Amino acid sequence: METAAPVTFRSIRASDLELLREFVRKLSRDTAYRRLLSGRTPSEEELVRWTAIDPAREAAVVATTGRGPDERLAGVARYVMESPDDTDFAIVLADAWQRRGLGRALLERLVAMARVHGVRRLSGLTLSTNIPMLSLARALGFRARRQADAFTTMLTLDLPGEAMPAAYHPVSCEFHDVLEALATTRRRTQIRFNGSDGLPQQRDAVIQDVFSREGAEYIVISSGETLRLDQLVAVDGAQAAQAAR
């Protein structure tokens, strides 16, 4: 990705309300129209709902620049899961950030989150004239079907479960406790893990959630990524250990 300023990826939080309000206010008319498929301004109730998300059925990854009082949103990608087969996604970038690879980076992260949360199909409606969105979606494997009205096109990505490694190897209770404690204190920590390509990776991040789904356990970290616990190598200096069988 070609960027002038460093970009950080993380999950959205309720305290991002002001950042989101500012981000939305600065969007060009064209960008806002493409996102909402209408010229309306989002209501306060929508802004609150878009930041204080329900993690059981929603995910939103933000790309930010700057730190502390200088932090700004550069883009947001989100989905809302009505059911695993009916999950609606949307993405929008600040005008200055378009066409620099950030849309692809955000949407790839959202798709990875959807996979581990058991979403089987992501779909979203876009204007049939929205060439950037149609091209980005096609590049990531979405199908595009023009709707009967011809003005809109439905983008769909099927997420078969086999992308996940088969058997989950549970971690030890002691290591699980370390993760729970870090998720409670929200302390920044060093996380070493094996990426999906098998290569070692490292993040300096906050553990935001520990959850289990369909017999496997996961953490959500502040980079916006979701990691299966048996991918972890060490967290906060504690070596990952598997449960005794």
Ligand X SMILES: CC(C)(COP(=O)(O)OP(=O)(O)OC[C@H]1O[C@@H](n2cnc3c(N)ncnc32)[C@H](O)[C@@H]1OP(=O)(O)O)[C@@H](O)C(=O)NCCC(=O)NCCS
What is the nearest approach in angstroms of ligand X to the Cβ of residue 85?
19
Binding status of residue 26 toward ligand X by CB under 6 A? no
**Nearer to ligand X by C-beta: 96 or 173?**
96
Does residue 64 interact with ligand X by CB under 6 A?
Answer: no
Task: Check residue 90 for interaction with ligand X (CB under 6 A).
Answer: yes
Among 132, 141, 161, 165, interactor with ligand X by CB under 6 A: 132
Select from 103, 179, 205, 229 the one that contacts ligand X (CB under 6 A): 103
Q: By CB under 6 A, how many residues form the interface with ligand X?
A: 23
Binding ligand X (rule: CB under 6 A), the pick from 53, 136, 178, 206 is: 136
Residue 100 sits in the site that holds ligand X (CB under 6 A)? yes
Residue (41 or 212) nearer to ligand X, CB: 41
Query: Any contact of residue 152 with ligand X (CB under 6 A)?
Result: no
Give the chain as a 3 state SS string. Answer: CCCCCCCEEEECCHHHHHHHHHHHHHCCHHHHHHHHCCCCCCCHHHHHHHHCCCCCCEEEEEEEECCHHHCEEEEEEEEEEEECCEEEEEEEECHHHCCCCHHHHHHHHHHHHHHHCCCCEEEEEEECCCHHHHHHHHHCCCEEEECCCCCEEEEEEECCHHHCCCCCCCECHHHHHHHHHHHHHCCEEEEEEECCCCCEEEEEEEEEEEEEECCEEEEEECCCCEEEHHHEEEECCEECCECCC
- 139 near ligand X, judged by CB under 6 A: yes
Q: Which residues contact ligand X (rule: CB under 6 A)?
A: 31, 34-35, 90-93, 98-104, 124, 126, 130-133, 135-136, 139
